[in-house]
Structure formats: C-alpha cells, structure tokens
Copies of this chain bind each other. A is one copy, B any other.
Amino acid sequence: MFYICSMLSYTEENYLKALLKLSFQNEDKPEAGTNEMAAYLGVKPATATDMLKKLKEKELVTYKKYGKILLTETGKQNGIAILRKHRLWETFLYEKLDFSWDEVHEVAEQLEHIQSAKLVDKLEEFLNFPEFDPHGDPIPKANGEIPTIDKVLLSELKENELCKVVAVKDTSTLFLQYLEKLRITIGTPIKVLERIDFDGSLSIQIAGEEARNVSMKFAESLFVKR
C-alpha cells in the first residue's frame, strides 16, 4: 500500500497520466501502443520509446520491445494520484474562482503537478469531498478508489425517455461552449422527443424548454443518467 512515489519528474507524471487515460479509453484491454501514447502527449514516437525505458526501469510500466505498454499497480496508483489532483483543482477553479467549464483544464494541467500531500487533502476537504469534477468525471479518493456512476450516451436513449446530464464525453472548448449556449450543465434534465433515423440526430427538450434538434455527434458526446 505504499504506492505513491513523489520522486517523479513533471514529464514522467504526464506519461503516467496519459497511460492511465488511454487505459480508460481502451476499456476492454488497458494497454497502449508507443505511437498512440506519443500522439496523445504530442511528442514523437522515438521520444516515447525513450521514456518508456525509463518508466520500465522504475517499474511503473511493464513492456517489452515491440510489445504493448501496461501500467504496473504502482504506475497506476501514481497516475490516479495525478488525476485526483487534476480533478480537484478543476473543481476548485470552477466552483470557487468562477472559471468557466472550458477554462479549467489548461490551468489544472499545471496545478496537478504541485507536490504536497497535505495540499491535496486539504483542498479536497475545502471543496467538501466532491465526487465528480465540473465535467462530471469522477474524482479519485485519497486511497485510489474511483467513484462510479451509471451513465449512458444521450444517443442510446429511446424516444420519450427522460434523463439528466451527468458528464461530458468530449471536453473540447467548442463542445463545452456550445453546451453553455444551450444552457446545458451537469444536472440539466433532458427529454428525447424524437429520433431521426436518417442521420442519427435527435429532437430533445432541454429543461422543459421548447424542442431543439441536435446532431448524432452531439448525442454521442454527452453522458446522461436515465
């Protein structure tokens, strides 16, 4: 149970976090490839290969030449610790400092690397132990547990189904700003009025307002709870 190692560089932390995120994406098999990882981090594959050797040396990942990359338990816990910090800071920025949905990420990318166990725990307490961040993503607990919530994509609902927004799948600025324009936020109730099979678009009712059409791309970017 002595997983979190504080002697990681800024860069190493970013690699671990990327690996963790990729493992969430590829749910069935939590591995990643070198190119995939490099693309995610915005570096060249050669660079990723080098770092991988270092992470392997430190027993944070298992991998062999030309093989897939997998986080060790230590690597995973370290990644989770960073994700925890990231999401707590996002929550702080959104709730206490009036940052908007799409502004929090960039600053949290920096704040997540601050080293101080006390700071993280005090921050969590100050925020009243939030379970989800402003995007609806779960905030890992101090022990590494990650809260869950059952959610489905808006696109999976049938006609006449009612739901509440619980998270965004796409966190791009464009999408988040569109959501703000539609006055959709975490918790907003939505009713599916009609499904247009032709292009997968939906006619929905947002918070009891008048009907509005949204694209399939939109419906596949929003998580809701029935």
Contact = CB atoms under 8 A, between A and B. Distances in A.
Interface of A: 93, 96-99, 103, 106-107, 110-111, 114-116, 118-119, 122-123, 126
A124 to B, nearest CB: 10
A118 B96 contact: no
A115 B123 contact: no
A119 B96 contact: no
B114 A110 contact: yes
Contacts of A118: 99, 103, 107
This chain: copies in complex = 2
A107 B123 CA distance: 13
Nearest to A116: B107
Contacts of A116: 106-107, 110
A99 B122 contact: yes
A99 B120 CA distance: 12
B96 A126 contact: yes
Nearest to A97: B122
